[in-house]
Amino acid sequence: MDALGSNAKRLELSQVKQTLKKEQRRLQLRRFLSNKLMLTGSIIIVLITAFALVGPYLVSYDPYEMDPVKRLQPPGAEHLLGTDNFGRDLLTRIVYGARVSIGVGFSVALISAAAGMVIGLYSGYYRALDQVLMRICDGLMAIPGILLAIALVAALGPMTENVIIALGIVFIPYVARIVRSATLVVREETYIEAMKAQGASAARIIWMHIAPNTLSPLVVQATFIFADAIITEAALSFLGAGVPTPDPSWGNILYDGKLVIFKAWWMTVFPGILIILTVMGLNFAGDGIRDMVDPHSSLSFKRKKKK
């Protein structure tokens, strides 16, 4: 009797839960659609991702194939966006460059989010660890990001993987800080105290109960880091310290473009516009997500702006 009753109750509860969830999802969708920033940002991101993924199958040139006789041809019928200083098709280079630039940006966001989360959670939870880890983070954040990245890439060697690692290291502290402060807040909650008293393991508390609460600021921050990483990779490659040539990346194309800026505007303008569009899309999305998960925050949310 008793068991039956509780079963029925459970059934009822789960039904309620499901309708609630559905309701929530609908609400979220409505909020998403009414959130213009979020919508525009997402559209831009989807378009550019499609450009990077599908583009290579649409272009008819090889990004490495050189034709010295056709160097620096202006945009025209044969080469839609013109050719570069080796006579390579610029559109093809930009399409393949999108894969590299966006790939680097995404990997960096992923790595710094993952590592930053671990560091943030543990230093938020253990006070002793906090002292050491946060001092190191402070130190890393005090060094101008671009300089740290240049130095790290020089030390590790010019490989795309190393560019990702270097940028990851640069951005980890920013994630760690945010996750840590979220952790500090959650840690003081009564239910955490209660779990501790019941003897729950630290790992369980951290991963099952604190971590989920840090996710939304983490996602927001990761989106901005995605954008910042694309900019910083471009700046690094532009200085000749980023993705190694002859691989195309937007920054690499700009580097070559700077050498011939008096002669070939197209090498600067086209990759430049793409960088701006991508970063704008990501910024919009980041702002949008933030408004969605935390309607109270507006600009007071401390945004990091590089360069």
Partner 1 sequence: MKASRIVRTLAIWMVAASLAGCGAQTAQTGQNEGAQPPGQGQAQPEPAKEPQAATGGELKIAYQAQPPTLDPHVTTSQASATIGRNVFETLVTADSKYHVQPMLAESWEQSEDGTTITFRLRQGIRFHNGKEMTADDVAASMNRWIQISSAGKDHFTGAVFEAKDAQTAVLTLKQPTATAMAILAYGGGNYPAIMPKELIDQADPKGVKEYVGTGPFQFKEWKQDQQIHLTKYADYQARSEAADGLAGKREARVDDIYFIFTPDSSTQVAGLLSGEFDIAADVSYDSVQQLESNPEIKVDVAPTGMLNLYFNKKKGLFANEKARQAIAAGIDAESILIAAYTQEKYYELNHNMMMYYQIGQWSSENGRESYNQNNPEKAKQLLGEAGYNGEEIVIMTSRDYEDMYNGAVAFQQQLKNLGVKSKLEVYDWPTFTELRNDENKFDILVITNTPKPEPSSLAFMRKDFPGWTNSPELDELLVKFRGAPNLEKAMSVYDDIQKWFYEYVPVVKIGDGNSISSSQKSVEGMTWLDGLILWNVSNAK
Partner 2 sequence: MNLYLVKRILALIPVLFVVSVVIFLIIHITPGDPASVILGESATAQDVEALRQQLGLDLPIYQQYMNWITDVLRGDLGESYFMKESVSEAIFSHLQPTLSLAILAQIIALLIAIPLGITAALRRGTAADQTVMGFSLLGMAIPSFLLALFLILLVGVKLQWLPVAGYKPLEAGLWNHLKYLILPAVSLGAIQSALITRMTRSSMLEVLNMNYMKAARSKGVKERQLIYKHALRNAFLPILTVIGQTFGGLVTGAVVTETIFNIPGIGQLIINSVERRDYEVIQGVVLFVTCVYVFINLIVDILYGVIDPRVRLERK
Where does this chain bind partner 2 (CB under 8 A)? 135-136, 138-140, 142-144, 146-148, 150-152, 154-155, 157, 227, 231, 234-235, 238-239, 254, 257-258, 261-262, 265, 268-269, 272, 275-277, 279-280, 283-284, 298-299, 303, 305-307
Handedness of CA 36, 40, 43, 49 (dihedral sign): negative
Residue given tokens 């309607």 in the structure block: 295
Residue given tokens 């990346």 in the structure block: 249
Shortest distance in whole angstroms from residue 200 CB to partner 2:
29
Shortest distance in whole angstroms from residue 259 CB to partner 1:
6
Cα gap 123→244, rounded to integer Å: 36
Cα gap 203→198, rounded to integer Å: 14
Query: Residue 129 CB: number of other CB atoms within 10 A?
Result: 13
Q: 160 and 104 in contact (C-beta within 8 Å)? A: yes
With CB under 5 to 8 Å by kind, the binding choice for 136 among partner 1, partner 2, none is partner 2
Cα gap 238→259, rounded to integer Å: 11
Toward partner 2, which CB reaches closer, 81 or 205?
A: 81
Among 10, 135, 263, 304, binds partner 1 (CB under 8 A): 263
CB under 8 A: which stretch of 32-40, 74-82, 133-141, 236-244 binds partner 1?
Answer: 236-244
Nearest CA among 260, 261, 233, 259 for reference residue 247:
233
Question: HSE on the CB side for 133, CA within 13 Å?
Answer: 24
Shortest distance in whole angstroms from residue 85 CB to partner 1:
7
Nearest CA among 286, 228, 223, 229 for reference residue 37:
286
Shortest distance in whole angstroms from residue 21 CB to partner 2:
34
Toward partner 2, which CB reaches closer, 83 or 283?
A: 283
Shortest distance in whole angstroms from residue 84 CB to partner 1:
11
Nearest CA among 219, 283, 223, 292 for reference residue 32:
292
- The answer to whether 261 contacts partner 1 (rule: CB under 8 A) is yes
Toward partner 2, which CB reaches closer, 205 or 275?
A: 275
With CB under 5 to 8 Å by kind, the binding choice for 26 among partner 1, partner 2, none is none
Binding mask 135-174 for partner 1 (x = CB under 8 A): -------------------x--xx----------------
Cα gap 270→90, rounded to integer Å: 9
- The answer to whether 245 contacts partner 1 (rule: CB under 8 A) is yes
With CB under 5 to 8 Å by kind, the binding choice for 239 among partner 2, partner 1, none is partner 2
Shortest distance in whole angstroms from residue 270 CB to partner 1:
18
- The answer to whether 272 contacts partner 1 (rule: CB under 8 A) is no
Residue 123: burial class (beta carbons within 10 Å; 0-12, 13-18, 19+):
buried
With CB under 5 to 8 Å by kind, the binding choice for 5 among partner 2, partner 1, none is none
CA 268 to mean position of chain CA atoms:
24
* Residues 50 to 79 in contact with partner 1, rule: CB under 8 A: 64-66, 68-69, 71-72
Shortest distance in whole angstroms from residue 250 CB to partner 1:
18
Q: 113 and 107 in contact (C-beta within 8 Å)? A: no
